[in-house]
Structure formats: C-alpha cells, structure tokens
Chains A and B, each alone.
Chain A
Amino acid sequence: MAPLSSLYVFPEWLNMLMAFLIGTGFGFALEQAGFSSSRKLAGMFYGYDATVLKVFFTAAIVALIGSQFLGFFGVLNLNQVYVNEFYVTASVVGGFIMGAGFIMGGFCPGTGICAMSIGKIDAMVFVAGGFVGAFLFTETYSLIEGLATAQYRGPVKINEVLGLSPGVFTMILVVAAVGMFWLAELAEKRFARPDITNDL
C-alpha cells in the first residue's frame, strides 16, 4: 500500500474538507492545551512553564515512532514523505527572527491564529504583523535572495548525515527528549509562578 493520495485520486472538495477538519482539530487541541495564552508560551522562555516544549517534542517523537513502524509494516512509503529542504544561513537568521518575534509577540504563528479565533486582540495585532512581514519579505525578496538561498543542502535527514540507522537515531532522540522533559520539570519547580490555569 502506497500513500492514499497516490493510490486514489480524491476530488478537490474532499481534500479541502479533510484539510479543514484536520486544521480544526489541531486548533482545538492547541486551545485545549492552553496554547492560546501568551503567558503559557512565554513561560518557556522564562522557565516557569515548559508545556510548549513537552507538547511539541512529544508530538514529534510520537509521529517519528509511528511513521517508522508504519513504514516497517509497509503501510506508509517513507520515500514519499516530504523532507524539508535545508538552507543553513536562512535557517539560522530566520530562527533568530522567529525566536525574537515569538518572545516579543507571545505567540508562534499557529497559536497566534488559534488565539485570534477566540477573540484575543493582541493575537489579531500579532497576525496582522505576520502579514506585514510576509508582504515585506515578498517585496524585498530580490534584495535578500542571496541570503535566503545561501548554503543550500537539499532535503537532508539528520540520521543520514550522522551515519546512523533511522531506528538508532529514533532511540537517541526519544531518550534525549525524555531527559529534556525531566530537566524541564525541574526548571518548572525552580522558577515556579502562581498557577494561571484558571485565568486562561
């Protein structure tokens, strides 16, 4: 069995409907986890709340383990899973800009939209800022093209660069993630602040 999309041709409206349902589910889960609060997100930076780290890393390792098993059982063709292309300079510069925007605005792009849809005014301003940024990026692209495409490495996988098998790399990452969760919980105790769950 190959991926669904290469076996069957779905009508456009069904693709759109599925995207809508998955997106809605994702937004709902984010809101449920309290990610529409910028205090929760900023907590990662100050060390009093590591929920962001735990949620995103858990999602990543669950998906990693799941896709490896699905590949092993022949349900998922891992060759057809999109691998992000790696532009070294752009990743470093973009990472700094994104991080600064994250801590100043109190949202990441996804949670910003999530918070906007429950009516938070700061999130609306944040998303508007995102659009302005996208507009400026497009308009000035010819000026920064050299920077954006510098040191292109193609769709590389970390385990291939390190020369590890996918399974061994998965194990190392999972153990590292669990260790990180443990450290994060220690930090949460160290920098504890009053519980904000009821204010959200």
Chain B
Amino acid sequence: MNIRQKVSLLLILLSIMLALLPLTANRSFSEKPSKLLAEVLGADVSVTVDEVAEFIVREDPDVRLIDLRPADVFIKEAIPGAVNVPYSEFIRSDPDTWISNREVRTIFYSTGNSEADYALVYARGMGYNNCYIMAGGITEWVRTVLDTKFSGGRITARENALFETRRRAGEMYTEYSSLPDSLKAKFLESKKFSAKKLDGGCE
C-alpha cells in the first residue's frame, strides 16, 4: 500500500475523532486542581478595601479594577477607574481580552463576594496569576470607606492616614458616581477595552 493512502486514511480517522469531540473555541483550566485549590484558598489572593482606596487615591497605574456587576448597576455607582465586564460576559468570552496584561494587578469586585470569587478561580485556573479580589465587594466598600466617621477624642498618626485615605477615596467615589450618566458613558467609552486586533495573514 502506498504512503498516500496511509496518510489519507490516518487523516480521515483523526477527523472522525474530531467530529465526535465537543469542540468549541472556549478555553480550559490548565493548572493542576490541587495546586489551584491551595492557591485560591490562600489569604494573599484578596485585597482589602482600604488597599483599594489607597490605589485609587494614588492613582496607581499598576492596578486594574474589574467590576463584574451588570452594566446598568455599574453606570449608577462604581469605583473610579474600574472597568465594567459583567460576570456573564467574563465567563462566556476569552478572559485574555481583559486580563492578558501581566504587568498590572487585576482586582475583581462584585456586589458581594461570590462572582468575584468565581472569576478569581476562573482566571487563575487559566494561569493568570496576576488576579486578586477585593474582599467583601461593593458592600464592604460602602460600609468601610463611605460610612466610617471619625469618632472619639485622640487618634494615632496611622489611623489618621487611614481615615484621610478613606475620606478622599470616598469623595472621589461619590463625585464620580454623581456625574450625569451621559458624561460617564462618554468617559467610559474612552476607557473601553478594544479587543486586541490581531495582525497576520498570509499570501
């Protein structure tokens, strides 16, 4: 039998196998389960709201906040600088679109914790180790940053710095959230992720 027939036969058999597989363009987790589990149960995957407040006040360029809440909630109130990727969209498309830049730390947050937790495991499972969550989500943010009032007589220098950061982050949050929707939409449009355009082609 000549080699052409063998190769043809092999290619046909392999393609039949492919036809039987549930192929999609979606990706799969690449880490080992036990390694991933240890990683995401560790304490160093979460960032406190105070740390986030500090990033905001310092306008830290090495941090990117991703808001997983639905778009209509996001437009009403959001942490300044955050980018909105609704959770359903995050799961259903390639996360590489949003978190491929490994030079920055990506911090997820949602209303409470759950969706940020899912997204954290999802992203880390695919090998994006630059992902973290903001512990407690927006609920905790509002409780800690917006609603803390200075009380009592004496205050230490460190406490003072903490309260100052919270106050300024809170001001920025309120100011940003009270912008008219049209203005905000325009601002967000300029920050929107443009899906990376791939170069290539062949002749």
A–B interface present (Cβ within 8 A): yes
Binding site for B on A (CB under 8 A): 1-2, 6, 58, 61-62, 65, 68-69, 71-72, 74, 77-80, 82, 84, 109-110, 165-168, 170-171, 173-175, 178, 181
Binding site for A on B (CB under 8 A): 4, 7-8, 11-12, 14-16, 18-25, 27-28, 30, 94, 96, 100, 127, 198-201, 203
- With A1-B127, A181-B4 known as contacts, the answer to whether A79 contacts B11 (CB < 8 A) is no
Query: In the complex, A71 Cα to B20 Cα: how many Å?
Result: 15
- With A82-B200, A171-B16 known as contacts, the answer to whether A165 contacts B27 (CB < 8 A) is no
The residues of B that contact A174 with a CB separation of less than 8 Å are: 11-12, 15
Residue contact A168 to B96, C-beta cutoff 8 Å: no
Instruction: With CB as the reference atom, state the residue of chain B lying closest to A73.
Output: B28
Query: In the complex, A175 Cα to B25 Cα: how many Å?
Result: 23
The residues of A that contact B127 with a CB separation of less than 8 Å are: 1-2
The residues of A that contact B200 with a CB separation of less than 8 Å are: 82
- With A74-B30, A175-B12 known as contacts, the answer to whether A84 contacts B201 (CB < 8 A) is yes
The residues of B that contact A72 with a CB separation of less than 8 Å are: 21, 23
Query: In the complex, A68 Cα to B20 Cα: how many Å?
Result: 12
With A77-B27, A80-B94, A165-B22 given, name 18 new contacts (CB 8 A).
Answer: A1-B30, A1-B127, A62-B11, A65-B18, A71-B25, A77-B96, A79-B27, A109-B203, A165-B23, A165-B24, A166-B25, A167-B20, A171-B15, A171-B16, A171-B18, A174-B11, A175-B15, A181-B8
Residue contact B201 to A82, C-beta cutoff 8 Å: yes
Query: SS class of chain B's interface: helix, strand, loop or mixed?
Result: loop
The residues of A that contact B27 with a CB separation of less than 8 Å are: 74, 77, 79
What would 28 A/B residue contacts be, using CB atoms closer than 8 Å? A1-B127, A6-B96, A6-B100, A58-B7, A62-B11, A65-B11, A71-B23, A72-B21, A74-B30, A77-B94, A77-B96, A80-B94, A82-B198, A84-B201, A109-B203, A165-B23, A166-B25, A167-B15, A167-B19, A167-B20, A167-B21, A167-B23, A170-B15, A170-B18, A171-B15, A171-B19, A174-B15, A178-B11
Residue contact A110 to B8, C-beta cutoff 8 Å: no
Interface centre among B14, B23, B27, B199, by most chain A C-beta atoms within 10 angstroms, is B23
Residue contact A80 to B23, C-beta cutoff 8 Å: no
Residue contact A74 to B28, C-beta cutoff 8 Å: yes
The residues of A that contact B30 with a CB separation of less than 8 Å are: 1, 74
Query: In the complex, A150 Cα to B111 Cα: how many Å?
Result: 46
Q: A144 CB to closest chain B CB, in angstroms?
A: 19
The residues of A that contact B22 with a CB separation of less than 8 Å are: 165, 167
Which residue of the partner chain, among A2, A62, A84, A167, contacts B96 with CB atoms under 8 Å? A2
Q: B103 CB to closest chain A CB, in angstroms?
A: 10
- Shortest 4 CB-CB contacts between residues of A and residues of B: A82-B200, A167-B18, A171-B19, A174-B15
